[in-house]
Chains A and B, each alone.
Chain A
């Protein structure tokens, strides 16, 4: 069964350092999502891609966060510099694209701890 892959699964970094997360969606899924899930809360959408284009980044802290999906397949989310408040689970999801509502398939996530 096809799955969304994410790496690393766990990351510990010191504040002010740079950190990057990688996501490989299910093959054929044109839409890719990055979510942040703070402990005890539900996931919050950070950025959404359709193919290589960003369609929603309204909740992305653009002063320190960046995301790219250069060839419309895998994606990288970067934080520079990391802050203590960035400690969270970062989830990637993918779905097919169309006019309906399609299931989002989630990866296992990357748990980030900033010290």
Chain B
């Protein structure tokens, strides 16, 4: 069965510092991988997705993630944090052979705090 582990439920960085949010997946087949962001009392918004093309994926708001098969990882990074990046971030995995049903399995989330 597929699963997603996000290391660190809370991450705190200074404005302008590097953001690194960790995600490791468990899957018997090369999966599709996603990062979503959730602001307080709102739904989830897609940041980026990996679907077996380039291993380095660029998303919105300056975020990017690198798929590393050998490490079963898909960590999210941003070179310089902004106050507006404070939110909860979720990594998710999907099995490309799930019969076209597009089912997502989410990690527990990482809350990012950005301080001045």
Contacts and interface: CB of A to CB of B under 8 A. Distances in A.
B110 to A, nearest CB: 10
Interface in B75-116: 90, 92, 94, 96, 100-104, 106-109
B46 interface: yes
Interface residues of B, number: 25
A40 B102 contact: no
Interface string A51-89: 000011000000000000000000000000000000000
Contacts of A111: 41
Given A43-B44, A45-B103, 8 more contacts: A9-B41, A31-B102, A41-B108, A42-B4, A43-B90, A99-B100, A104-B46, A104-B102
Contacts of A95: 102
A42 B103 contact: no
A98 interface: yes
Contacts of A104: 46, 102, 104
B94 A106 contact: no
A102 B90 CA distance: 17
Contact of A56 (B41, B90, B103): B103
Interface residues of A, number: 29
A107 interface: yes
Nearest to B43: A106
A42 B46 contact: no
A70 B85 CA distance: 39
Contact of A101 (B4, B51, B107): B51
A103 B46 contact: yes
A107 B43 contact: yes
Contacts of A48: 101, 103
Contacts of A50: 101
A14 interface: no
B43 A55 contact: no
Contacts of A107: 43
A4 B43 contact: yes
